[in-house]
A and B are shown apart, each in its own frame.
Chain A
Amino acid sequence: MDKSEKLALTLSGLLLAVFLSAIVYASVAKNIDVPTCITDIDPFLTDTLFQTGPDSYELQMVARMWAFQPSTVTLPAGSTVDLYLTSQDIIHGFKIDRHNVNLMAVPGAINYMQVTFNEPGEYLFACHEFCGAAHHTMAGRFIITEREDEPELIGGAF
């Protein structure tokens, strides 16, 4: 192995080490993580939203062919949501526009991510895993209002 080869190998290793450190930093210092294994929640197939604190909510969402339940969630700005997601039929995907929430909805498993909405506005979530003939129509919205509004559900099952 000649000198330039060794240098290239070292620099490649260093580059990857820098990238890896950035990931660890984001995970540990910034608390940005990927979904993990959840076993402490009972299986659910109906959607619910309830308030757990002054600015915090728990949302259990169900994906099915070809809608999310609830399809529209209205919350005041500043809300933090513990979002649980499952599927009642086949695999679906869920990503909230302009937020670091991206989840697979898989039947027989529950996915989880926490999300905070600071800015008022509408945030689309579109199904991003092929789920059959009308997959392209499967979408919903978070509507984040100025503060003081009551949370409200449309298209939910209760």
Chain B
Amino acid sequence: MSDYIFRFNKSNKYLNATLLIIPMVLLFIGIYGGLMQTLFRAGIVTSDPFVGGDYYKGLTFHGVLNAIVFTTFFAVVLGNALIPYSLKKELNSRIAWISGILMLVGSVLAAIVIFMGEATVLYTFYPPMMAHPLFYIGLTLLVVGSWVASANWIPMYLQWRRENPGKKTPLAVVGMFTTFIIWFIATLAVAVEILFMLLPWSLGLVDEINVMLARTLFWFFGHPLVYFWLLPAYVMYYVFMPKMAGGKLYSDMAGRLVFMLFILFSIPVGTHHQYMDPAIGAQWKFLHGIFTFAVALPSLITAFTLAASLEHAGRQKGSTGLFSWMGKLPYFKKENWFFPYLILGLIIFIFGGIGGIINASYQMNTVVHNTAWVPGHFHLTVAGPVLLAFLGGSLYLIGQFLNKEIRLKGWAMISPYVYTIGLFIMSYGLKIGGLQGMPRRTNTGLSYANPDSILYQPDWIAYIDLSVIGGVIMFIGIVIYLASFFATVFAKGGNGEGEGADVTFPISEPLHDEKASWLRNFKPFIIIAIILIILSYTPVIYDVLQATYGGSPPFSPESPVPLR
């Protein structure tokens, strides 16, 4: 299994390489925006020296490019690579290209209107603040493109099942389908929000919009979105990491159970982002809180299974003590540069997970909601384990698809360490600042952190400064990574130039392999998930429609006077 190589045809090779390289450029622009955020907040800069505009424009492209564009592309490429590889079937190139082009055109359209300053609405694009219609169209094309990509995998899977009756679907395939099942259900809500509410309203076909309804639909999508980010990382943790550590996956069944639990509980939880909202009954918020605790369970199982897999790897290398196996893992091995991206992500996720449970804890959310704690938290999740796994995965995949040896491996190996140090400093600053009351999404440099302002808050300054220090270190970590990535892309050679790509993956074998026949079929889990969604969202939507009045005309972020 370990030496198995799958050959992608030339068309799919270049498609997947393109879908890795262009988003990497966009990611860098977004990360540059992130660095500028910390400088704006500290009052070090007041306008962006390179792309112009203020803090909020920068915050918009930071969020959209990093959290929506880069992540979606990577999830699609990982599926495009792992599903053909695991099922030994070639990808349908034409459909794959259609999906890739839709996603690229959509992302570029959205990016252009953001840089023109026509869509400074942040990545949550809450109405009645209105963006240019092309912003909504761009996001729609990106999402539709990702749907097309995943639809392309379904016939391959069905055919494989027919040809291999009674065989277990490879765990990587289960994980990728789980990711996209959740993504498909979740994006239906935001598709309704965009296509039936925001787009006609931004085109002037509809005058007014129900803001609470749009917001609720957004969060129907917004929380499963975080599992769409997290699950490709989980696939790499379960499938790649044990083997890279020199061991086996502790339990195959645990992996399958975790993915099915995510299908069940990823979606009926969105209202925990709206604990502080009007027009939704507290009892329904509490119900979503319970489901959120349920969705913490698969992550706790994952913590156990992965730790047990790593312990097994350490013991294979001769460790006998209670904790000494931890010292036997390949933390600083140039040839095993991918491992640090995964293990550091897992360490970060300990703190990210704890923060998540705090946020989900109903009335405790009062203390942290919309304070700087929240970005402090989600940088420990989406910009921690998710980003690191995706960066490691991107570098690995580009090496595979271009059939090139990774360049600057030492840099690639050290980058996640530098980044993690910066991340902990920045997130500490944001989280503690948030507990002191510092709001998120706020250009503090012009008011709360400005000694000349009547709003000056001296207690917050130390935390704002910490986020600058951390942000600069994170940026350096990313630059080190990009040096390795682009050195590899532009390196000469690569065997089979102009032909196909010979791709291989470190696929872990299970230590405990049980039949787990009840976990082998998606259907019952999807059906239960739909029932849970209906049960949890019907009363929420009912409350919203009952308790809201009037509609909202569109506003520009520049003026308190409505646009029409």
Show the binding face of A for B, using Cβ within 8 Å: 1-2, 4-5, 8-9, 12-13, 15-16, 19-20, 22-23, 26-27, 32-39, 43, 64-66, 85-86, 89-91, 93, 95, 97-98, 100-104, 106-112, 124, 126-133, 135-137, 139
Contact = CB atoms under 8 A, between A and B. Distances in A.
B560 interface: yes
A35 B439 contact: no
A16 B129 CA distance: 38
B362 A107 contact: no
A100 B366 contact: yes
Given A1-B253, A86-B278, 4 more contacts: A93-B370, A112-B278, A124-B437, A130-B59
Contacts of A126: 437, 439, 442, 448, 455
A13 B299 CA distance: 12
A19 B370 contact: no
B266 interface: no
Given A35-B282, A37-B547, A23 B289 contact: yes
Nearest to B124: A130
Contacts of B556: 132
A31 B440 CA distance: 28
Contacts of A127: 439, 442
A109 B212 contact: yes
Interface of B: 54, 56, 59, 122, 126-129, 210-212, 215, 250-251, 253-254, 274-283, 285-286, 289-290, 293-294, 296-297, 300-301, 304-305, 308, 357, 361-367, 369-371, 437, 439-444, 446-448, 455, 457, 512, 514, 543, 546-552, 555-560, 562
7 contacts: A2-B251, A16-B300, A36-B280, A64-B560, A89-B555, A95-B369, A109-B549
A90 B300 contact: no
Given A1-B253, A95-B437, A130-B56, A102 B369 contact: yes
A93 B285 contact: no
A8 B297 CA distance: 11
Contacts of B550: 43, 107-108
Contacts of A26: 362-364
A137 B437 contact: no
A37 B546 contact: yes
B92 to A, nearest CB: 38
B276 A34 contact: yes
B300 A108 contact: no
B124 to A, nearest CB: 8
Contacts of B290: 20
A35 B276 contact: yes
A47 to B, nearest CB: 16
Contacts of A128: 369-371, 439-442
B363 A38 contact: no
Given A36-B281, A106-B215, A109-B547, A1 B293 contact: no
Contacts of B297: 12-13, 16
B555 A95 contact: no
Contact of A101 (B366, B446, B448): B366
Contact of A34 (B357, B362, B439): B362
B281 A37 contact: yes
Given A129-B370, A133-B558, A5 B552 contact: no
Contact of B441 (A13, A36, A106, A130): A130
Contacts of A130: 56, 59, 122, 441-442, 557
A22 to B, nearest CB: 8
Contact of B560 (A39, A65, A91, A111): A65
Nearest to B437: A97
Scoring A8, A13, A34, A101 by chain B CB atoms within 10 A of each residue's CB, the highest score goes to: A34
B560 A104 contact: no
A136 B449 CA distance: 10
A9 to B, nearest CB: 6
Contact of B251 (A1, A64, A102): A1
Nearest to B289: A23
Nearest to B447: A136
Nearest to A7: B304
Given A8-B304, A106-B279, A111-B277, A136 B555 contact: no
A112 B155 CA distance: 52
A89 B128 contact: yes
B543 A132 contact: no
B546 A33 contact: no
Scoring A1, A13, A112 by chain B CB atoms within 10 A of each residue's CB, the highest score goes to: A1
A140 to B, nearest CB: 10
A107 B552 contact: yes
A132 B558 contact: yes
- For the complex of A and B, the 9 pairs showing the least CB-CB separation, nearest first, are A128-B439, A111-B278, A65-B560, A12-B300, A132-B557, A36-B282, A8-B304, A128-B370, A109-B278
